[in-house]
Amino acid sequence: MGIAHCSFPLVCRLLLIGVLLWLTSAAGGAKGEILDPSAFASLGPLPAGNVILETSGMPQVNGSPAGELFTPSDGGPELAVFTFDGGDVLGAGDTLTATGSRPAVLLFQGTASLLGNVLVSAGARVGGSAGSAGAGPGAGQGNSQGGAGAGYGGAGGNSGLAARGGMYGTQTILQGGSGGGGASGTGGDGSGALQIGALGLLSVGGTIDARGGDGSNGTGGAGGGSGGQLILHAFDLTLSATSFLTVRGGDGGLPSGADGGGGGGGGRVHFIHNADGALANDGFVLVSGGIAGGAPAQNGTAASSRSMAATPTWVSPHRIHRRPPPC
């Protein structure tokens, strides 16, 4: 079969430009926040026992300066990056907490096994004070009669005259959830954002919790915060039957004399594995919106959850490239 001839050269050139722009966007933009573990200096092995990753100010691990900051090129917030050796294990009785003002990135230069609990509040936005809107691009509005739920991957729920927070963001721009609207009490905080990546097998057998905070009860119920964001990427990715990942929105507060609080919207979950690797998901992933605190409030809506079989386009401070499968 020969090459098809185009009778309209200008149209063909425009179509070709469109295809090239789409391919450029798919290769770079769609995975623009997926960081290459080999591009960052390792901090050594993951500390044994409980681990605290602090992203405010200069990044810290268990109270000591460690990690580095990374500024994305596509408009996302500044990230705190923590890179460790391969073969690391978070034990079944241990807890890793990612906290602070920036979203967190946890990278492994080999395999990693997360059997314990991971708590995510890094990059979260706070709920509104009494009668005030929450913080963040999907913030729920609030007044003394009731607070609306915040949105993120899904929209929040309305509460009386208080308007809910809408959807925002993408699957790969790493950022936290937004805060619910305050009523007679404070709205629920949004949850944080965490990216976990490994050059080899990433195995999850514990809990990763990025659930939005509940709105407070009162004369008027406050709105729930929206769930956060989880991005997991590796050559091979395994979620065992004991694993539980949640970006559920927070529940709206219960009223005692006015409107109930709106539920927070669910967050975002994104799985990426190498085209020559595999995804085995026997776990439970919860992306639902929070429950309303009573009429006329509304539940939050579900988030987006996506799995991809693709060779990730890694991003480093010095280069963008497609990483071959590790030997």
Encode pLDDT of 235-273 as tens digits: 999 999 999 999 999 999 999 989 999 999 999 999 998
Q: Is residue 1 part of a domain?
A: no
Q: Report the amino acid identity of residue 321.
A: H
The pLDDT assigned to 76 comes to 87
The pLDDT-based confidence of 295 (bands split at 50, 70, 90) is low
What's the rounded mean pLDDT across residues 164-169? 94
Asked whether 188 and 108 are in contact (CB, 8 A), the reply is: no
Q: Tell me how crowded residue 28 is: count the other CB atoms within 10 A of its CB.
A: 14
The pLDDT assigned to 200 comes to 96
- Closest among 254, 276, 281 to 326, alpha carbons compared: 276
Return the bridge partners of 79, or none.
70
What's the rounded mean pLDDT across residues 293-297? 73
Cα separations (Å) of 106 from 92, 135, 322?
18, 25, 20
Q: Which residues contact 154 (CB under 8 A, 6 or more apart)?
A: 167, 226, 249, 265, 266, 287, 289, 300, 301, 302, 303, 304
The pLDDT assigned to 311 comes to 52
Average pLDDT, the chain: 84
What's the rounded mean pLDDT across residues 283-307? 79
The pLDDT assigned to 315 comes to 52
The pLDDT assigned to 300 comes to 74
Does 7 have pLDDT greater than 60? no
Does 219 have pLDDT greater than 80? yes
The pLDDT-based confidence of 172 (bands split at 50, 70, 90) is confident
The pLDDT-based confidence of 4 (bands split at 50, 70, 90) is very low
The pLDDT assigned to 310 comes to 52
* Residue 238, H or E segment: strand 229-239
The pLDDT assigned to 306 comes to 65
> Assign residue 160 a region: left if phi > 0, alpha if psi is -120 to 50, beta otherwise?
left
Cα separations (Å) of 219 from 31, 186, 263?
45, 12, 17
Asked whether 33 and 70 are in contact (CB, 8 A), the reply is: no
Task: Give the pLDDT confidence of 102-115 residue by residue, as tens digits.
Answer: 999 999 999 999 99
Does 35 have pLDDT greater than 90? yes
Does 30 have pLDDT greater than 50? no
What's the rounded mean pLDDT across residues 268-282? 90
Return the bridge partners of 52, or none.
97
Domain hosting residue 50, numbered range: 9-322
- Closest among 185, 164, 193 to 81, alpha carbons compared: 193
Specify the number of domains making up the chain: 1
* Assigned token pair, 140: 């729920």
Return the bridge partners of 99, or none.
54
Q: Tell me how crowded residue 25 is: count the other CB atoms within 10 A of its CB.
A: 11
> Assign residue 206 a region: left if phi > 0, alpha if psi is -120 to 50, beta otherwise?
beta
Q: Is residue 214 part of a domain?
A: yes
Residue 91 exposure: Cα atoms within 13 Å on the Cβ side: 7
Which backbone phi and psi does 208 adopt, to 5 degrees? Answer: -120, 115
Q: Is residue 3 part of a domain?
A: no
| Secondary structure (3-state) at 20 | helix
> Of the given ranges (64-78, 119-133, 216-230), which has the lowest mean pLDDT?
64-78
Q: Is residue 4 part of a domain?
A: no
Task: Give the pLDDT confidence of 75-87 residue by residue, as tens digits.
Answer: 789 999 999 999 9
What's the rounded mean pLDDT across residues 22-38? 53
Does 32 have pLDDT greater than 90? no
The pLDDT-based confidence of 276 (bands split at 50, 70, 90) is confident
Q: Tell me how crowded residue 327 is: count the other CB atoms within 10 A of its CB.
A: 3
Which backbone phi and psi does 235 adopt, to 5 degrees? Answer: -65, -50
CA distance 151 to 100: 21
Does 92 have pLDDT greater than 60? yes
Q: Tell me how crowded residue 93 is: count the other CB atoms within 10 A of its CB.
A: 11
pTM: 0.85
> 262-277 b/e with 16+ CB inside 10 Å = b?
bbbbbbbbbbbbbeeb
Burial class, 244, CB count within 10 angstroms (exposed 0-12 / middle 13-18 / buried 19+): middle
More confident residue, 16 or 173: 173
Does 319 have pLDDT greater than 90? no
Does 326 have pLDDT greater than 60? no
Q: Is residue 327 part of a domain?
A: no
Q: Is residue 2 part of a domain?
A: no
Does 13 have pLDDT greater than 70? no
Q: Is residue 61 part of a domain?
A: yes
* Residue 13, H or E segment: helix 9-24
